[in-house]
Amino acid sequence: MNLEKVVFGFFIVLAMTLNFGFFIGDIDNASHHHAYELYAAIIVSLIATVLKFGDRTHVGAILLSTSLAADLQLIAAAILWAALNGTYDEASLTVYIVSLSGGALMANIISVVLLISETISQKR
């Protein structure tokens, strides 16, 4: 067992699950989507990205790119929230944010699929 792999897998899966937790619920209902959950998703996603730095294998490179895609969308959602809060009607703002996080969720799912497929193809 390799501690590095444990930490790595943990953060990738946690990034996806947190993202999913934020995403789930009515898309226009603000009370189904908590700000702290988005916050946690962003932090974990950032950590997962940094953990992938410097991995020069092919899978490592793809994992880094999916992770960057997830970060981009989550941060875009957070910026929207911070910038438009109070100036926009709540339901449509929530739709924007949640749909962006849905995009990030897709990227995170690909990350996890890649991680699983790499684990399965491991020979020992």
Partner 1 sequence: MDSILFLILRRLRRPLILIIVSFAIAIIGLTLMPGLDDQGHPWKMSIFDALYVISYTATTIGFGEIPYAYSKAQRLWLTFSIYLTVIPWFYAVGKIITLLQDTGLRQAVTTERFAKKVRQLQEPFYILCSYGQSSNLLAKALDEKGMRVVVIEPQQERLNELELIDTRNTIPYLCADAILPENLERAGVLHPLCSGVIALTDDDNVNLAVAVAVKLMNPDLLVIARAERDDIAANMASFGTDRIINPYTLFGDQLAMRVHALGTYLLHEWLTGVPGDTLPPPENPPKGRWVVCGYGRFGKSVVENLEREQITTTIIEAMPELTGCDYCIVGSGTEAKTLLEADITNAVGIVAGTDNDTNNLSIVMTAFELNPKLFVVIRKNRRHNGRLFKQFNADITMQPTEIIAHECLAHMISPLLAQFLSLARGQTNDWANKLISQLVMTMGETVPETWAIRIDNEDTPAVIELMETGLNVSVQHLMQDPANRENQLELVPILLLRNNVPSLVPDPNTRLKAGDRILFCGSPATKSTLPSILNNTKTLTYIIDGVEVPNSLVWRWLEKKFKRKSHHTESA
* Contact set for partner 1, span 76-95 (CB under 8 A): 78, 81-82, 85
If we measure between CA atoms, which residue out of 123, 82, 80 comes closest to residue 101? 80
46 contacts partner 1 (rule: CB under 8 A): yes
Contact pick of 53, 58, 122, 123 for partner 1 (by CB under 8 A): 53
Going by C-beta distance under 8 Å and a sequence separation of 6 or more, which residues neighbour residue 26?
32
**From the CB of 83, what's the least distance to partner 1, in Å?**
8
Helix ranges (DSSP H) in 24-89: 35-52, 58-84
* Residues 97, 77: Cα–Cα separation, whole Å: 5
30 contacts partner 1 (rule: CB under 8 A): no
Contact pick of 35, 76, 106, 109 for partner 1 (by CB under 8 A): 35
- Copy the structure tokens of residue 63: 């994992």
96 contacts partner 1 (rule: CB under 8 A): no
**From the CB of 50, what's the least distance to partner 1, in Å?**
5
